[in-house]
Structure 1
Amino acid sequence: MKTSTRALRQLFLQEDLNFLLTNRIPRIALTKLMGRFSQIRNPLVCRLSIAVWRLFTDLDLSDAKQQRFASLHDCFTRELQPGARQIEMAPEILTSPCDAIVGACGPVAGRQLFQAKGFPYAMQDLFGPSQDTSAFQDGSFVTLRLTSAMYHRFHAPQDCVVEHVTHIAGDTWNVNPIALQRVERLFCRNERAVLRARISSGPAMGQAIAIVPVAAILVASLRLHFLNLLLHLGYRGANELPCEARLRKGEEMGWFQHGSTIIVFAPKGFELCPGIANGERIRMGQALLRYPVESGS
């Protein structure tokens, strides 16, 4: 059984086949269908779905608060047991909002950054025409890819006030490394939200940060707790959402349904924390970006 499972995973990971299966299909229609299927509240359907899911992923539910689920959606959006993640509370640190694999990361070159080697894109294309990106010019960014098996909730990286949310309709391309190396400006094509916030404590108090959750195939629903809002492919509400939501570091902001990408932006002066590099696996609450503090301050 283990040998056949490994063989299935290796076949699916073959680049051409993976790209064909996950992108050369009716992406939006399949994503909507998956959304409806995941909501079916039937224990047998749920158990069989999770069993199939495990054939292709390293799904680990050992740290989940609940061990039994009524639907696939409940499993996707599961909570963690108390204490399952440690939050780095140093006031100069921005923590990872989610469990993830680090993708492209580093300095923003003016207002341009990379989704993958040789594939640049402009911040303005990602943030949308309504947003001013000057606060992040020459700043830093980290792309965080959530696989389907990971914990799918995301949390505030610092004490902050979320001041504005922009919803941008789009496609549902797969955001795995294979697609990122083949589809230019992929993040700028997909359904996404831009969460603009201001740090409310510590040495970087008053500085702007941005969190950009990007949807992907089979996942185009984003729950934002602080607005009591579900953004999805059929969303017909306002796309510009001013707010004043005060969050503490580590407080839950919302969840994805399935897996996707979050891009974190910080202004000039922040630097990557040790261990943050392309391909590294990190957990929610781990140190991500640091605002240098002078010795003795």
Structure 2
Amino acid sequence: MNDKAMTTIPGRIQRLFAQEDLNFLLTNRVPRIALTKAMGRFSRIESPWLTRLSIAVWRLFTPLDLSEARQQHFRSLKDCFTRELKPGARVFDARPEVFASPSDGIVGATGLVREGQVYQAKGFPYATAELFGPTQDASAFEGGRFVTLRLTSAMYHRFHAPADGTVEHVTYLSGDTWNVNPVALKRVERLFCRNERAVVRMKLASGHAIALVPVAAILVASIRLHFLDVLLHLGRRGAHEMPCSAPHAKGQEMGWFEHGSTIIVFVPRGFELAEGIAPGVRVRAGQALLKQGG
């Protein structure tokens, strides 16, 4: 097969998966939880040749770029998913009024929290109370803002503290593993409330209470939180409460996903979107996401 043909194969496969009906069928109308658990086991197999082969197949489906990775050789597929970046690859905006993006991602739905309701896509509302679970009070964010950040499988999967502050509580809620791409968000009502997720409550040095809600998805149902030394996964059932007092400096690594997924950011009144932040925009960890009002 010639080089020209080789270079067009990934593009053809990616265009095939861009067809909405087929994409939804292949990534949702499947045994999601069983496949996710199987992927978790497979990704931990330490084999150089299997890892190289898996990465080559992965690149057929997504534009994976490892040029920023701290290392270029991986023991397992999980090591590639959760890769560190070279020093200086992500610089966090140091201005104290700036709330930085905690991760790389594509901006999804944004807006104000009104009467305890936000949106995953146009015409698809969900309740903050349901997202946060029965043990958490979401009223602190009434009238505040939310920003949805979607991490694709090819992106950098670690997330960081968006500002100086202290993590005070984590609630883990087990759930399903629907895909979280735009195709699914337009078809599955209350999708984020159905999926496995963690509610990370944090108080900023400015005194503001914020929340980060990492949401798992198909093939990714493990969330590592360094400050609790815990791996949240589908084997845990029910709402698990984890009170803590974990100070973080802006940009400090908080944890990682073991594939790609979503982080929903909630801030109270007094924050505005940073310049250039809008649905569909790609952001990098450390970039200004929100700013405190004057």
Q: TM-score, normalised by structure 1?
A: 0.96
Aligned residue for 2:3?
none
Residues in 1 aligned to 2:118 and 2:275: alpha-carbon distance in whole angstroms: 20
Q: Following TM superposition, by how much is the alpha carbon of 1:237 offset from its aligned partner in structure 2, in angstroms?
A: 8.9
Aligned residue for 1:179?
184
Aligned residue for 1:213?
214
Aligned residue for 1:195?
200
Residues in 2 aligned to 1:236 and 1:260: alpha-carbon distance in whole angstroms: 20
Aligned residue for 2:257?
256
Contact persistence 2:107–2:281 (CA under 8 A): yes
Report the count of equivalent residues: 289
Contact persistence 2:151–2:262 (CA under 8 A): yes
Q: Which amino acid aligns with 2:66?
A: L
Aligned residue for 1:146?
151
Q: 1:132 aligns with which of 114, 117, 137?
A: 137
Contact persistence 2:173–2:238 (CA under 8 A): no
Show the 5 A alignment for 1:227-238: 227-235=228-236
Q: Which amino acid aligns with 2:78?
A: H
What's the CA shift string for 1:60-103, capped at 9, x where partnerless?
00000011001000000000100001110110111000000000
Q: 1:176 to 1:2 in 2, by over 3 A?
A: same
Q: Following TM superposition, by how much is the alpha carbon of 1:236 offset from its aligned partner in structure 2, in angstroms?
A: 5.5
Q: Following TM superposition, by how much is the alpha carbon of 1:109 offset from its aligned partner in structure 2, in angstroms?
A: 1.6
Q: 2:14 aligns with which of 9, 15, 19?
A: 9
Give structure 1 stretches of 5+ with no counterpart.
Answer: none
What's the CA shift string for 1:147-189, capped at 9, x where partnerless?
0000000000000110000000100000000000000000000
Q: Which amino acid aligns with 1:159?
A: D
Residues in 1 aligned to 2:63 and 2:286: alpha-carbon distance in whole angstroms: 21
Residues in 1 aligned to 2:250 and 2:47: alpha-carbon distance in whole angstroms: 36
Residues in 2 aligned to 1:273 and 1:145: alpha-carbon distance in whole angstroms: 18
What's the CA shift string for 1:9-43, capped at 9, x where partnerless?
11111111110000000000000000000000000
Residues in 1 aligned to 2:79 and 2:197: alpha-carbon distance in whole angstroms: 22
Residues in 1 aligned to 2:14 and 2:67: alpha-carbon distance in whole angstroms: 22
What's the CA shift string for 1:213-247, capped at 9, x where partnerless?
00000000000000000000012597011000000
Runs of 4+ in 1 over 6 A off after TM superposition: none
1:111 maps to 2:112: no
1:159 maps to 2:164: yes
Q: Which amino acid aligns with 1:78?
A: R
CA RMSD of aligned residues (A): 1.0
Aligned residue for 1:285?
286
What's the CA shift string for 1:101-157, capped at 9, x where partnerless?
000012112311100001011100100011111110010010000000000000000
Residues in 2 aligned to 1:282 and 1:177: alpha-carbon distance in whole angstroms: 17
Q: Which amino acid aligns with 1:230?
A: L
Aligned residue for 2:241?
240
1:93 maps to 2:98: yes
Contact persistence 1:101–1:281 (CA under 8 A): yes
Aligned residue for 1:272?
273
Residues in 2 aligned to 1:79 and 1:6: alpha-carbon distance in whole angstroms: 27
1:52 maps to 2:57: yes
Contact persistence 2:144–2:267 (CA under 8 A): yes
Give SS of 1:239's match: strand
